[in-house]
Chains A and B, each alone.
Chain A
Amino acid sequence: MPFQIKENSNQYDVCIVGSGAGGGMAAYVLTQAGLKVVVLEAGPWYDPAKNVTQLKWPWESLRRGAGTTFRPFGDFDAAYGGWEMEGEPYTRVPGTQFDWFRSRMLGGRTNHWGRISLRFGPKDFKGKSRDGLGEDWPIGYDDVAPYYDKVDDLIGVFGSKEGIPNEPDGKFLPPPKPRLHELIIKEAASKQNIPVIPSRLSILTKKINEDRGACFYCAQCNRGCTVYGDFSSSSCLIKPATKTNNLDVIVNAMVREVLTDESGKATGVSYLAKDDLQEYQIKAKVVVLAASACESARLLLNSKSKTHPNGLANSSNVVGKYLHDSTGAAIGGVLPKLFGRTRYNEDGVGGMHVYTPWWLDNKKLNFPRGYHIEYWGGMGMPGYGFGFGIQGLNGRFPDRNGTQKSGGGYGAALKDDYRYYWGANVGMAGRGEAIALESNYCEIDPNGTVDKFGIPVLRFNYKWSDHEVQQAKHMQETFQEMMHNMGAVITWGIAGPENNYGLEAPGRIIHEVGTTRMGNDPKRSVVNKFNQAHDCKNLFVVDGGPFVSQADKNPTWTILALSWRASDYIIEQFKQQNL
């Protein structure tokens, strides 16, 4: 067959690249308004009600739930993807580190994410005004708050009204009661004046409409929910959008570049269909990128033309820069008082029932910005890794009969030790705000590397600064004290300056944002305050790319709110015939 590019004859109002939080929300809002929309997704169709791993038992996985390259978070995890994908490499500048997690499937990374749904607070939009670092957003909390409210109503989130100034309350469903270890954590934290409040997760503790069921407490949100009791873009946004008959979804479509005309306006995109390996073009009046912060930056940089010689929307030379991920460090151990505990179903929702919002004043600290703390522990379903390293436990604590054995062993006594120590584990992790730096960036690999589709790949250059290292040090000290206060014994995670106090490599927390940042100055930003490219008025970016700063929150709720806001703007601009 001769090589030729096939044009899709459909005329769309909007072409959206990516079906995760940002793309899903844009598809939902734009189709509701009657616009004809096509969504291009690089991975396969996915429906948590049909692609089921929920309520399966560990022995139903050949590897008992262990992770693979394909599913790094375990064999039951919903996300098809990972930090390494066959045939889709990326490179790094020597001496720097960034691990890029991609999820190629309908709904993207919303399928496995922890459903932690935090609003940014007023301070989070004005970092530079606070401490002189980074940049302020061109918008503030009051601009986004109405959209957070709409997202709460549409998708559902549980939580509690706390009145914490920079942790704005939402329109919450009731939270679940804390588990046993969470009560112990809360009691210990109060000795350090650390708040522990109900978590804020997009899981339905109450039914909110006829399309979605209520949570039935299996703790498996990361596997995808067969009754749509939690949020994923596939079940909560794309699926209802298809019911409008205004949406076409093309899966297994790897977008190569954004097409532009002589005047520099976007005219559509070209993509490779993975199913027949043919090249296609699709035309649309507006192009919305929601491929993930780095993938959208890659698309822009790969979309060079006479009018946009430096890549599309990149006259500022800012595309790819200011890449930043959340900081992360963790500690874990055991609570000896829980050895030999009574059995009961402790699954609860998929994730923690309590968390700690940032609680300190940076004026008294040697690092800027804050972190929140996530907790875990208890009698979760055993999987691969169960019982590993028992020699470190049963040589350290007396067994059920009060006998102090030498660590390790075998036989009936060992068998009983596994039962005795089960459910006593506890741990915590910090998720903090990194400073967005121009020197942390992704770019098209200058050595000419391409992926298996022939698309030029990204090269990353990322180094933590001392701000993040000092923050991780503070996490270490805080966690160690908290573990001590609750009577826990730390068994892993203690780290010092030699390994940055346990600070995870950039990219490992999968909150990367900032590569197409928004701003009022076209010379210093890529999109305006409505996520619209300064250089190309019918091009929008609605993933994490436009974030000026990441806060210590998880980005999803803000991506959803900003995508809705940008979509309202697109609808308005269509009405005014500006697009």
Chain B
Amino acid sequence: MKRRDSLKAIALTAISSGVLLQSCDANRKETAATPVKTSGIDRHPSELVRDQKLLAEKFFDDHEMNTIKVLIDIIIPKDETSGSATDAGVHDFIEFIVKDMPRHQLPMRGGLKWLDVQCLKRHNKTFIDSSSEQQLALVDEIAYPDKAKPEMKQGVTFFNLLRDLTATGFFTSQMGLKDLGYAGNTPNRWNGVPQDVLDQYGLYYDERTLKESVQWDTSE
């Protein structure tokens, strides 16, 4: 069954980075989010209970969330095709998914702190208070795993995770799906690969396949 294998394919490892300073903890406030209607898909009662509980919790504090918003728009900015990650609500997805998958919590929280500590050491400012040039200079040092210096390893690990969550959040949003050009999830009649695509790859349906496969009267 393919889903089983695709789940394995997307397994990711996250190494928790050391949390060095407590400087931002004062900003962390526990405020309950307004309960939101869960999804419109079939739910077992025990799932509804869990989803409501997760939605009522808040994980990231305001400073962390503001940092996430800056970072995810650096990862996926607005371009001529579609909007940015925050335009697509990716930050809300990230807030939910770390509550749903607690394994992401420490790598995310610790990674954000690591980032701030780097900025504090360099400019005596947090990441979001740093200039755009300073922000991008640091991102450049953690965004390319093969080029990054060993002492940036914790930042690379954090950025890999954040890039994954950002891409997933964006391209599973309505905006992202449209950008991608996904054309399915709608009733249709599958009548094979379009001819121009077959031609492009030098492929064709043999006579037996054409004869035996399901087909429809085009006048229907």
Interface residues of A (CB under 8 A from B): 44, 51-53, 55-68, 70-77, 80, 86, 113-114, 158, 160, 173-180, 183-184, 187, 198, 205-206, 216-219, 222, 328, 330, 332, 337, 341-349, 351-352, 374, 376, 379-391, 395, 406-412, 414-416, 418-419, 422, 427, 429, 491-493, 508-509
Assess the B185–A347 pair: CB atoms within 8 A. Answer: yes
Assess the A60–B190 pair: CB atoms within 8 A. Answer: no
Q: Which residue of the partner chain, among A80, A205, A342, contacts B44 with CB atoms under 8 Å?
A: A80
With known contacts A63-B96, A382-B172, A427-B5, A175–B164 Cβ distance under 8 A: no
Assess the A409–B143 pair: CB atoms within 8 A. Answer: yes
Assess the A407–B145 pair: CB atoms within 8 A. Answer: yes
The chain A residue sitting closest to B54, CB to CB, is A62
For A65, list chain B residues within 8 Å (CB): 172
For A114, list chain B residues within 8 Å (CB): 1-2
For A177, list chain B residues within 8 Å (CB): 190-193, 205, 209-210, 213-214
With known contacts A386-B172, A407-B146, A66–B97 Cβ distance under 8 A: yes
- Stretch in B26-34, B110-118, B126-134, B174-182 touching the partner: B174-182
Q: Does B188 contact A (CB under 8 A)?
A: yes
In the assembled complex, the CB of B115 is this many whole angstroms from the nearest CB of chain A, namely 14
Assess the A174–B213 pair: CB atoms within 8 A. Answer: yes
With known contacts A180-B197, A390-B163, A427-B5, A70–B46 Cβ distance under 8 A: yes
Assess the B213–A176 pair: CB atoms within 8 A. Answer: yes
Assess the B171–A67 pair: CB atoms within 8 A. Answer: no
In the assembled complex, the CB of A402 is this many whole angstroms from the nearest CB of chain B, namely 18
- 9 pairs of residues in contact across A and B, judged by CB atoms under 8 Å: A60-B41, A177-B210, A187-B203, A344-B193, A379-B183, A382-B171, A387-B163, A412-B77, A418-B180
For A407, list chain B residues within 8 Å (CB): 144-146
Q: In the assembly, what is the distance between CA of A217 and CA of B186, in Å?
A: 8
With known contacts A59-B173, A66-B97, A387-B164, A427–B2 Cβ distance under 8 A: yes
For A415, list chain B residues within 8 Å (CB): 76-77, 79
Closest 10 CB pairs of A and B: A387-B167, A385-B10, A177-B192, A376-B2, A216-B187, A343-B181, A58-B172, A347-B184, A174-B214, A51-B42
Interface residues of B (CB under 8 A from A): 1-10, 12, 38-42, 44, 46-47, 50-51, 54-55, 74-77, 79, 93, 96-97, 100-101, 139, 143-147, 156, 159-160, 163-164, 167-169, 171-174, 176-177, 179-194, 196-198, 200-201, 203, 205, 209-210, 212-215
For A493, list chain B residues within 8 Å (CB): 5, 8-9
The chain A residue sitting closest to B210, CB to CB, is A177
Q: In the assembly, what is the distance between CA of A508 and CA of B4, in Å?
A: 9
For B46, list chain A residues within 8 Å (CB): 70, 86
Assess the A62–B51 pair: CB atoms within 8 A. Answer: yes
Assess the A56–B200 pair: CB atoms within 8 A. Answer: no
The chain B residue sitting closest to A391, CB to CB, is B145
Q: Which residue of the partner chain, among A56, A352, A380, contacts B41 with CB atoms under 8 Å?
A: A56
In the assembled complex, the CB of B108 is this many whole angstroms from the nearest CB of chain A, namely 15
For B213, list chain A residues within 8 Å (CB): 174-177, 198
In the assembled complex, the CB of B40 is this many whole angstroms from the nearest CB of chain A, namely 6
For B181, list chain A residues within 8 Å (CB): 343, 419
Assess the B214–A53 pair: CB atoms within 8 A. Answer: no
* A344-B193, A346-B183, A387-B164 known, 15 other contacts, Cβ within 8 Å: A55-B185, A56-B40, A57-B185, A59-B174, A180-B201, A183-B201, A187-B203, A206-B214, A344-B197, A347-B188, A376-B2, A385-B10, A387-B168, A389-B10, A412-B79
The chain A residue sitting closest to B147, CB to CB, is A406
The chain B residue sitting closest to A114, CB to CB, is B1
Q: In the assembly, what is the distance between CA of A381 and CA of B186, in Å?
A: 11
In the assembled complex, the CB of A267 is this many whole angstroms from the nearest CB of chain B, namely 33
In the assembled complex, the CB of A523 is this many whole angstroms from the nearest CB of chain B, namely 37
Assess the B5–A429 pair: CB atoms within 8 A. Answer: yes
The chain A residue sitting closest to B88, CB to CB, is A59
For A58, list chain B residues within 8 Å (CB): 172-173, 177
For A337, list chain B residues within 8 Å (CB): 201
Q: In the assembly, what is the distance between CA of A151 and CA of B201, in Å?
A: 39
In the assembled complex, the CB of B176 is this many whole angstroms from the nearest CB of chain A, namely 7
For B183, list chain A residues within 8 Å (CB): 343-346, 379
For A62, list chain B residues within 8 Å (CB): 38-39, 51, 54-55, 96, 100
Assess the B184–A379 pair: CB atoms within 8 A. Answer: yes
In the assembled complex, the CB of B207 is this many whole angstroms from the nearest CB of chain A, namely 13
Q: Which residue of the partner chain, among A71, A382, A410, contacts B163 with CB atoms under 8 Å?
A: A410
For A348, list chain B residues within 8 Å (CB): 190
For A86, list chain B residues within 8 Å (CB): 46
